[in-house]
Structures are given as structure tokens and as C-alpha cells.
């Protein structure tokens, strides 16, 4: 696995996108010690504090966008594996669609982006930010970092583990489809069986987080006995703060 490290970038996702549009196929992981314009899901700012990990994996896939999006769960599983390598696994949960929680607080975020590759197929940028050494005190969702839980891990070592675990789950997905990722993700799912609120574009829906559908959608069982499959949105659990 190729790993390239920069002292500073606007964002590792933007660098991966530039590489893909210029014809690079990967697999390659790009890390920056400093980001000036880190981004999270839905355009949120990602605070790039010193000592944390900011990285993006660049891949070319022979898959459509909907299937490629399933690899967000591979990224979440890899982040969970990274955390479990140095922190009590009982504290580690994954919040739909792809947040890493440690002790109920957010410790990592994931942003996947894709587009048509000049060589055919799809380019995929797998952006992952992990709070190894610091965390923001004013984020939308209560945050934490690895050091809070007694774990000291350098970004270089963290990326070696993270990229290897992502590759493990990517290969499982390529060979066996989404089923093994779904099973592994559900084993660490935050809030499974609990009531939650899903904020979607134009509406808010309340129900019980009952399952993860075969395509990665969240299955919400509503009070009136009907079911909704949520493919995009923000999910809130009582007492858990903002997403």
C-alpha cells in the first residue's frame, strides 16, 4: 500500500480528487500533517488539530456509485478496528452512517466522495479524520480523542493500521458483497433497538432504529407500525447530543 505524507494540504480529499482526475488509480493513501480546509459530511468544517490523523484513500473501482457508497461502512469498521487496537473494545461503537464513537463521544469522521475516472469506472476518495491527540470542545456533537482513554498513538502508526484494516474490509466486500460488512457493523452499532430522530431533507421522522438494510440504509420502525428506510440524513438519539 502506497502512503504519501504532506506537511500541509487544503484537504486530503481534495488532493485525492485532483490525483484521480489527472488519471491516478491508486490504491494510495494521502496524509497531511496540517489541513487548511478540512471538511466533514454535508459540508461541515472538520477541525484539523495538531497530532490528529487526516488521511484519504484513493481507489478506482468497477462499481456504480450506490455500491461504492457501501465502502463507507468499510471505513467505519476500519476506524473501529484502529480504536480497538489501543482502547477497550467495549467503549467503541459505530453510529449510522459512519461515525466512530468512544464512550458515546465522536472520535472520528468519514467522508466518501466519488466520480467518473478518466480510465473508466469510478474513482473513490475515502476521507477519514481521527482524533488521536486532541478533540474540539465546541463541536456539534460531544467529542473525544484517544488520549482521553489512555491511548497514545502517532499518526504514522495509526495510518498503517487504518489503511490495512480498510483494505481487509474492502477485499471482503469485493469477494463477498455487503453482507460481511453489514454483520460486522451491526455488532458495533450504536443505538440499535433504541428510539431516535432522523432529520432528512424537508422532514423529521421519529422511530426505532431496528436494523441495517441490505444496501446500508437505516431501517426505522415508526409508531404507526410502518417502516422507513433512511439512506441519507442525520440521526439523533436521546441524550446523545447533535450528530
List alpha helices for 106-189, DSSP H.
155-176, 179-186
d(CA 56, CA 109): 12
Whole-prediction pTM value?
0.92
Q: What is the mean pLDDT of residues 204-218?
A: 95
CATH number for the domain running over 195-236: 2.30.30.100
Confidence grade of residue 40 (pLDDT, cut at 50, 70, 90): low
pLDDT over 90 (residue 208): yes
Confidence grade of residue 42 (pLDDT, cut at 50, 70, 90): very low
The domain ranges of the chain are: 2-186, 195-236
Neighbouring-strand partners of residue 55: 31, 128
d(CA 154, CA 160): 10
Q: What is the mean pLDDT of residues 24-44?
A: 79
Q: Write the class of the CATH domain 2-186.
A: alpha beta
CB 31, CB 159: distance < 8 Å: yes
Enclosing H/E stretch for 18: helix 12-21
Quick one: pLDDT at residue 179? 97
Amino acid at each position: 500500500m502506497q502512503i504519501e505524507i504532506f506537511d500541509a494540504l487544503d484537504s486530503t480529499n481534495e488532493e485525492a480528487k485532483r490525483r484521480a482526475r489527472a488519471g491516478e488509480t491508486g490504491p494510495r493513501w494521502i496524509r497531511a500533517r496540517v489541513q487548511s480546509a478540512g471538511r466533514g459530511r454535508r459540508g461541515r468544517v472538520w477541525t484539523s488539530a495538531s497530532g490528529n490523523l487526516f488521511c484519504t484513500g484513493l481507489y478506482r473501482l468497477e462499481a456504480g456509485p450506490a455500491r461504492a457508497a457501501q465502502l463507507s461502512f468499510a471505513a467505519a469498521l476500519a476506524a473501529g478496528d484502529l480504536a480497538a487496537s489501543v482502547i477497550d473494545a467495549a467503549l467503541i461503537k459505530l453510529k449510522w452512517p459512519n461515525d466512530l464513537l468512544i464512550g458515546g463521544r465522536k472520535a472520528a469522521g468519514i467522508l466518501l466522495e466519488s466520480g467518473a475516472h478518466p480510465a473508466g469506472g469510478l474513482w473513490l476518495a475515502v476521507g477519514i479524520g481521527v482524533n488521536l491527540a486532541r478533540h474540539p470542545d465546541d463541536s456539534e456533537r460531544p467529542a473525544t480523542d484517544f488520549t482521553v482513554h489512555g491511548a497514545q498513538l502517532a499518526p504514522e502508526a495509526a495510518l498503517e493500521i487504518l489503511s490495512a484494516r480498510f483494505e481487509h474490509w474492502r477485499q471482503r466486500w469485493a469477494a463477498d458483497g455487503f453482507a460481511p460488512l453489514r454483520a460486522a457493523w451491526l455488532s458495533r452499532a450504536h443505538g440499535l433497538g433504541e428510539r431516535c430522530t432522523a432529520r432528512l431533507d424537508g422532514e423529521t421522522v421519529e422511530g426505532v432504529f431496528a436494523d441495517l438494510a441490505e444496501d446500508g440504509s437505516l431501517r426505522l420502525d415508526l409508531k404507526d407500525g410502518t417502516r422507513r428506510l433512511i439512506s441519507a440524513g442525520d440521526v439523533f438519539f436521546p441524550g446523545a447530543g447533535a450528530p
